[in-house]
Every structure is written in C-alpha cells, then in structure tokens.
Amino acid sequence: MSRSIYGLYYHDSAAAGAKRYFYVGRSVDALRRFRQHNYAKKAGHEDKYEFIRELDATGIAWTFDILREIPDGEYPPDNERWFVIKLTREGHRLMNMRYGSEEHRRELAEQVGSPHIRSVADVKHDRLRRGYLASKRVQRRIIATTLKSEGVPDVRSDRLLPRVLHRCLVKHEVTSIEAGVTIGEIYRMARTHRNLEPLRVEAAKALLRFRMR
C-alpha cells in the first residue's frame, strides 16, 4: 500500500504569500487525512490544532500538498523525518518539533543540526546507527548486571560475553569468572595476557560455589 508525505501550510501575506509549512505527516490518503485534520481542529488539543484555530480566527486559509510519494520498499517514517528536518532547516516552524518525549525531541534537534543528514537514506542510516548503539547499551547493562550477580560459571559455553573477549578467555584457559568482576577488568586482563592466573584461581572457587547451589 503506497503512502505519501504531506505538509499542512498557509500563505504568509507578510512574506509575499510564501508558503509556511507548520506540520508534516504521512498517509495512504492525504486528502482524507486533511479532512480529518479539518474536523479534528474543532476540539483537538495538539499544537497543530491550536495553531489551525488561530489561523481560522484571523481568516487565513490553510491547506496541504504532497511533498513526496514514498517508493515501495522505503520506510515511511524515514521519509517523514527527512521532510521535518529539511523544512525546519529552511525556516518553517513545524509542530512536529514539539511532539514526543524529551529524548525524541533531542534526537530530532540533533538530526536537524547534523551536516551528515542530507537525504532519506541518511535518515535511515542514522536510525540504524542509533538503534545499534541503543542495543549495545542494553547489552552492556545486561552483561554488567550478570557479572555482578553471577559471574560466568562456564566461560566456554557462555553466550553473553562479547565474542572477541570470549575467544581470548578460552584461549588462555579461563574456565569461569568470579561474581563481582566488571567487564572492564576482564578486558584489561585479557588485553595484557597478564593477571589471568589470579582470575583462574578465583574462577575455580566460583565454579565450585556454582556447583554447590
């Protein structure tokens, strides 16, 4: 099902009738969505509806146009985000910039200011990059919590530690890791190939305790 990116706008009489976009959205039927906005303006509490009521009160007409038909295979939110970025850079005061959580607004502001985002493809790349970094942060928290409470009872069969670190520990015959050791400490010991003997000693104790549970 094809979608389009649309923009709500009015003509600014103070700027020779220039278009002033105030909202960007996406829909499978932009005309129908425009009519829904026109109906929702009567009681809608969102910023765009309050702004539309202000336009109506001063007799300024507002309408919409299609900014882009989204090709099959492209992710619609990336297209919407790109036009929010593009129009904001061009000086349009979009209500989209006010929505969402503080983190969402901060992310959008960073993208608007980033010289590396110049197209829908760049928005996609940035979304994937942020998703990867977020997943890595979650993974690090899980690893840190597990190491603190349980350690690694069996290094060889472990699937939680980063693979590079896992291979290094297996190579140096570390069989298990004592609870309470941080991931940073393990990395430092693995990088220097020193201090692994104390780790093996503590690991043996941890494994014994694990087996006695």
Q: Mind listing the pLDDT tens digit for each residue in 122-155?
A: 999 999 988 888 887 888 888 888 888 888 888 8
Contact 133, 155 (CB under 8 A): no
Q: Band of the pLDDT at 204, cuts 50, 70, 90?
A: very low
The stretch 164-190 carries a mean pLDDT of 82
The model's pTM is 0.69
Q: In the chain, what are the domain boundaries?
A: 4-129, 150-212
What is the average per-residue pLDDT within 65-90? 95
Residue 1 has pLDDT above 90, yes or no: no
Who contacts 10 (Cβ-Cβ below 8 Å, separation ≥6)?
19, 20, 22, 55, 60, 61, 62, 63
Supply 20's token pair.
């002033």
Q: Which of 36-40, 103-107, 195-199 has the lowest mean pLDDT?
A: 195-199
In eight-state DSSP terms, residue 71 is P
- The band of 98, judged by pLDDT with boundaries at 50, 70 and 90, is confident
Residues 6+ apart with CB under 8 A from 55: 10, 61, 62
Q: Are 51 and 95 in contact (CB under 8 A)?
A: yes
